[in-house]
A and B are shown apart, each in its own frame.
Chain A
Amino acid sequence: MKILVCVKEVIDPEVPVNSIDIDSDLWKFSPKQGVSKVLNGFDENAVEAALNIKEQIPATDITILSVGKDFSMDVIKKPLSMGCQNLFLVKDDKLDQTDPFVTSNVLYKAIRKIGDFDLILCGRHASDWDNAQVPIGIAELLNIECVTLAKGITVDNNEIVIDRIIPGGIEKVKTSSPILVTVSNEYGEPRYPNLRGIMAAGKIQPTIFSLEDIDLTDEDLISTNEIIEIFIPEKDSNCEFVAGEDEYDIGRNLALKLRDKNLI
């Protein structure tokens, strides 16, 4: 089975707001000195899903694809350390910050260049812009069906069954290749790379494409949206802190306070 996983480097979503700079001309986020980039967490879930399929069907080949202006190799090679085989990057200054339409165009044309895949996996969304559009865009451009929010994927010969998250439960979706599936964090924790994986990843050279290599046109790079402003929402903090002689007493007073206010 040939699997492609699309991944993205993002600013670590766990860092506090003041570790990120906003460029108010381009409305671009950049991490301050010393703030790390990480692989988008949902993309790691997608990588884990691909690796589980490979464990079941050893003749599976997993290719990783990412696009951007530049990459931190230790971040972008993480899926290889986890056990994936190939890495393709589309690298160009014009890909510094792209809207979902442009990103989808670039990924679509890169996929066409790399070859056919039975299964394309993506994270449910990227934790920076939270758009949740690119995977669906790729599927639409490739003219294949798409199943979002997978919690589980099982492959049995030509049949693929996806446990898809819906409000209040899951639905089982039966489908077949080629198909694009987005994976959610409910899929389960991604594995940690082991030493053997890290060594193997060190030996794999990424294939780097320019925009010309994948026949990208100027039209493909036109964004449909314009960001007018980005701001931090203001909050009036009016929290009333409960006091007490010790922490047990604080707990006691908290319960009494809730009763006073008729909240319990």
Chain B
Amino acid sequence: MSKVLIFTEIYENDFDSSVLEMISMLRDLNIDSKNIIVAALGDDLYSKESILQNIPVGKVVGYKNIDTNQFNPNILMKLATGIIDQLLPEKIIIPKTSVGQDLAPRLAFKYKYGIVNDCLSIEESDNHWIGVRPVFGGNYLAKVKIKSDKQIFCIRTKVFDEFDEKNINPSIEFFEYEHNIETNSQIIERIQEQSDGIRLEDADIVVAGGRGLGGPEPFDTLEEIAKLLNAAVGASRAVCDSGWKDHSYQIGLTGKDISPNLYFTVGISGASQHMAGCSNSKHIVSIDKNVDANIFKDAEIGAVGDWKNILPGFLDTLQNLVKN
């Protein structure tokens, strides 16, 4: 079995934990972590050897003293290209992070690798790896086989548990980058969203509204509920595209990926592209007027009816519960 290469990002103080999920996934395919090489992408890796040493695989490679211009994809592409030129791996695993989802297709086209993007898992059949991925916004799953031996699988994060064996330490090899690293595109500024309350991604409880709310005003009630529950407020794509809420509220395939303990939805029908961003919630509780709404297939507890009448009963009771 040839070695497998995983790309991962290295930050100031740690590596991106998705690499541990990728190692778990490969273990399910009987790939021993000692046979995995991790290609590290990040700034000034030479000074971060202690971070690299904690990645539990056979070997970690990376470039010594590079300024990636805040993970500029066009610079990362040059670095990844250099690493592939040195190692010529047959199988490449890329976690579907913001950086990874951009990098994977670039490498595929550059090197004529076959690629299955956005895989939920990889199945093995007759010594072939088959990527399983959602299509049509998650309404269907497709099993996709790459015809050539050179294969890239870009894998969704937070699907696999993190690999937790700590007693494996890699050998580390640094490369020197000898070509021109300059790119035409440069990141000149990063602007973080200002959020008043708890971040959606970190919240234990998320209260979200959809198209069924009919306008921006009902979100005031959701904000009120969220305040009582110490929850974050989210919204469906329809709500954000209509301008009722800013896109920073958007949950779903093209928005935020959340995994709260309780996901409480009002007027969200549960289109697959929305569910793609919240299916890791532990408990889904939903109010919607349509008993056949898709959201009730995932919800554990449901209330069918007009939110205009249900929410006041809910809010009044909640206020009493909180007071006591």
A interface residues with partner B (beta carbon < 8 Å): 11, 13-14, 17, 20, 22, 27, 29, 100-101, 104, 124, 127-133, 136-137, 140-141, 145-148, 151, 161, 166-176, 179, 184-186, 189, 223-233, 235, 237-242, 244, 246-259, 261, 263-264
Task: Pick from B115, B142, B199, B273: contact of A133, CB below 8 A.
Answer: B115
Task: Pick from A140, A168, A242: contact of B110, CB below 8 A.
Answer: A140
Roughly how many angstroms separate A185 CA and B247 CA in the complex, as a whole number? 9
Task: Pick from B296, B299, B309, B321: contact of A259, CB below 8 A.
Answer: B321
Q: Nearest Cβ in chain A — how far from B249, in angstroms?
A: 11
Among B32-40, B129-137, B168-176, B212-220, which stretch is in contact with chain A?
A: B129-137
Contact B143 A229, beta carbon cutoff 8 Å: yes
Residues of chain B within 8 A (CB-CB) of A233 are 140-141
Tell whether A13 pairs with B136 under 8 Å between CB atoms, given A145-B185, A172-B191, A250-B303. Answer: yes
Contact B303 A179, beta carbon cutoff 8 Å: no
Contact B316 A252, beta carbon cutoff 8 Å: yes
Contact B145 A263, beta carbon cutoff 8 Å: no
For the complex, is B179 an interface residue (Cβ under 8 Å from A)? Answer: no
Which residue of A has the minimal Cβ distance to B134? Answer: A130
Task: Pick from A189, A232, A263: contact of B261, CB below 8 A.
Answer: A263
Contact A228 B189, beta carbon cutoff 8 Å: no
Residues of chain A within 8 A (CB-CB) of B303 are 241-242, 250-251, 254
Contact A175 B117, beta carbon cutoff 8 Å: no
Residues of chain B within 8 A (CB-CB) of A170 are 190-191
Task: Pick from B145, B199, B247: contact of A226, CB below 8 A.
Answer: B145
Known A130-B136, A254-B313; further 15 A-B contacts with Cβ < 8 A = A131-B117, A131-B118, A140-B110, A145-B183, A174-B187, A175-B186, A179-B185, A225-B144, A230-B143, A231-B141, A239-B299, A239-B300, A250-B305, A251-B315, A253-B313
Task: Pick from A184, A189, A250, A256: contact of B243, CB below 8 A.
Answer: A189
Q: Name A's interface SS.
A: mixed
Total CB contacts across the A-B interface at under 8 A: 240
Roughly how many angstroms separate A223 CA and B146 CA in the complex, as a whole number? 9
Task: Pick from B110, B146, B309, B321: contact of A264, CB below 8 A.
Answer: B321
Tell whether A13 pairs with B137 under 8 Å between CB atoms, given A137-B109, A251-B303. Answer: yes
With most chain B CB atoms within 10 A of its CB, the pick from A228, A230, A261 is A228
Which residue of A has the minimal Cβ distance to B193? Answer: A169
Roughly how many angstroms separate A185 CA and B144 CA in the complex, as a whole number? 27
Roughly how many angstroms separate A17 CA and B270 CA in the complex, as a whole number? 13
For the complex, is B29 an interface residue (Cβ under 8 Å from A)? Answer: no
Contact B130 A254, beta carbon cutoff 8 Å: no
Contact A172 B189, beta carbon cutoff 8 Å: yes
Contact A240 B300, beta carbon cutoff 8 Å: yes
Contact A227 B109, beta carbon cutoff 8 Å: no
Provide 18 A-B residue pairs closer than 8 Å at the C-beta atoms, listed in order of the A residue. A13-B273, A14-B271, A20-B136, A128-B135, A129-B135, A130-B117, A140-B109, A174-B185, A189-B243, A226-B147, A232-B141, A239-B296, A249-B313, A250-B303, A250-B310, A256-B321, A257-B301, A263-B283
Tell whether A239 pairs with B297 under 8 Å between CB atoms, given A252-B317, A264-B229. Answer: yes
Task: Pick from A137, A254, A256: contact of B285, CB below 8 A.
Answer: A254
Task: Pick from A169, A225, A257: contact of B145, CB below 8 A.
Answer: A225
Roughly how many angstroms separate A228 CA and B297 CA in the complex, as a whole number? 27
Residues of chain A within 8 A (CB-CB) of B147 are 223-226
Task: Pick from B112, B137, B142, B184: contact of A230, CB below 8 A.
Answer: B142
For the complex, is B298 an interface residue (Cβ under 8 Å from A)? Answer: yes
Q: Nearest Cβ in chain A — how far from B220, in angstroms?
A: 17
Roughly how many angstroms separate A240 CA and B301 CA in the complex, as a whole number? 5
Task: Pick from A124, A141, A161: contact of B109, CB below 8 A.
Answer: A141
Among B42-50, B56-64, B99-107, which stretch is in contact with chain A?
A: B99-107
Contact A230 B135, beta carbon cutoff 8 Å: yes
Residues of chain A within 8 A (CB-CB) of B311 are 251
Contact A172 B188, beta carbon cutoff 8 Å: yes
Which residue of A has the minimal Cβ distance to B109? Answer: A140
For the complex, is B205 an interface residue (Cβ under 8 Å from A)? Answer: yes
| Residue interface mask B239-251, A partner, CB < 8 A = 1 | 0111100010010
